[in-house]
Amino acid sequence: MHAIDVSNVSKRFRRNNTTTIKEYIVRGLWNRRPEPQGPVWALKEVNLKVMRGAAYAVIGQNGSGKSTLLKIIAGIMRPDEGKVSVNGKVSALIELGAGFHPEFTGRENIYINGMLLGLTKKEIGRRIDDIIDFAGLRDFINEPVRTYSSGMYSKLGFAVAVNVDPDILLIDEVFAVGDEEFVHKCKGKMDEFKKRGKTILFVTHSLPTVEEWCDEAMWLEYGVTRAAGSSIEVSDSYKREIFALENMKLIMESEKTNTGLEDAVNDVPTGAAGGGAPSADALAAAQDGGGEPGRRWGSREVEITSVKLFDHKGVEKYVFSMGEPVTILMHYDAHKTVFKPVFGFALLRSDGVRCYGTNTSLQGISIGMVSGQGTIKVVVDEINLLGGQYFVDAAVHTEDGVAYDYHSQIHQMVIMNDEKDVGVCRLRHRWELPEALLATDGA
């Protein structure tokens, strides 16, 4: 039997209703014509069936209609079209602090929320210690909730929602607020719910959570269902779309960056002697993370005219999965014959931490001379950096480290990774444990 059955549900809102004198005056002063009025469809013909005991996720970018759908299922909103059937007692945690009175204490708000969720005062009294302990707010429970932080609000709301013993739990971004200990406690409670055959429907941006916790998922985009089914398949489809959009954005930014390299700040790192080309010590300081972002410096006898990234098929891209091969192409133009130049590259995190750097000299490669235009190609067989945003620095300099052209934190790339490693990179490793130590199912 279905715990939740959403059939052809649509919800619309009106926009651009100028209703105040102030708005009329502002439009008149700026000579702005009002945009066409009309409905905005937050949801359009959405169908959703969740079986009893299932864990179901709704994903999508902000503004896709996820929270609106949850509110309709919770009964907070009514659909303009379609039907919703909910079979079982529902507990919803949708908006931070919803149902809390700011002037009442945490304890008083537990009673208010519990009663709103259908419990008697006596039933709440039997559970209140469990709720307070779960929230971890015993020292603050008799303080007005207006004094609570957003994290404390979230903890109290979740603690009430899961301790009223609902059949169906509706949650909007449960893991977005709260410390690591509380998130772990939430996951443990949801595990317990799943084992007891409770139904969980939640909205999240965390794809690893979707893949780990959910049986099925739905991807909403502008109020329309893009995909629904297996959580792994829906998550994979969503990731491919996000990667493609991010990659397209970075390709356009790369084209803009390479076209406008002449406009980059031509300045030397702090410590350069006499305002000319930087000394070897100054260059080393910049390479170790001392260079400021978005800077370019050097004598320009040899210029790096563009830096582009490609995958193993030769397709230009700037979003890679961890472990993928990456090819870096540096196009240069030597305005005169230059002997023994050194080319190098570095990978920096978005916070400026230098993850890796090398150059032809360090690798024992000696370049005799360059003249005119050419290309330097570097192939990274596996990009084993953890997920995040990175910069690719590129440089050409003399054997003594004096820069002809140095690009510092100008060229961007993104690494996608669902693993939960911490640090800078992933090292190849394996665990070898005695079989006696391994837990069996149910242990």
What digits encode the pLDDT tens for the residues 137-155? 999 999 999 999 888 888 8
Residue scoring higher pLDDT (433 or 208): 433
pLDDT category at 209 given cuts 50, 70, 90 is: confident
Q: Which of 257-261, 276-280, 425-429 is least confident?
A: 276-280
- How far CA 240 is from CA of 208, 237, 364, 376, in Å, comes to 14, 5, 40, 30
pLDDT of residue 287: 45
Q: What span, in angstroms and rounded, lies between the C-alpha atoms of 310 and 410?
A: 17
What is the predicted pLDDT for the residue at 281?
43
Grouping H, G, I as helix, E, B as strand and the rest as coil, residue 108 is helix
Predicted confidence (pLDDT) per residue in 330-362, tens digit: 999 999 999 999 999 999 998 889 999 999 999
More confident call, 65 vs 23: 65
pLDDT digits (tens, 9 = 90+) for 86-104: 999 898 887 666 678 889 9
Can you give the pLDDT at residue 246? 87
For range 220-244, the mean pLDDT: 92
Range with the lowest mean pLDDT among 222-226, 273-277, 297-301? 273-277
The pLDDT of residue 380 is above 90: yes
Sheet with 81-86: strands ordered across:
38-51, 2-15, 81-86
Is residue 250 scored above 60 in pLDDT?
yes
> Do the strands 55-59 and 216-221 form a parallel or antiparallel pair, or are they unpaired?
parallel
Of 307, 327, 271, 310, which is closest to residue 405 (Cα–Cα)?
A: 307
User: Phi and psi at residue 216, in whole multiples of 5°?
Assistant: -135, 165
Average pLDDT over residues 357-372: 96
Q: Which domains does the chain have, with CATH numbers?
A: 260-416 (2.70.50.60)
- Please report the pLDDT score of residue 278 as a whole number: 40
Beta bridge partners of 418: none
Region of poorest pLDDT, from 29-38, 127-136, 340-349, 351-360: 29-38
Whether the predicted model's global pTM rises above the 0.85 cut: no
Both tokens of 415, joined, read: 């690494």
Query: Within 39-179, where are the H helices?
Result: 66-74, 106-116, 121-135, 150-162
Nearest to 257 by CA among 318, 302, 313, 320: 318
What mean pLDDT comes out for the span 389-416?
A: 94
Q: Report how far residue 392's alpha carbon sits from residue 416's, in angstroms, rounded to the nearest whole number.
A: 16
> Kind and range of the H or E element at 172?
strand 168-172
User: Does residue 432 register a pLDDT over 70?
Assistant: yes
Confidence of residue 435 (pLDDT cuts 50, 70, 90): confident
Checking if the pLDDT of 256 tops 80, the result is yes
Mean residue pLDDT across the chain: 85
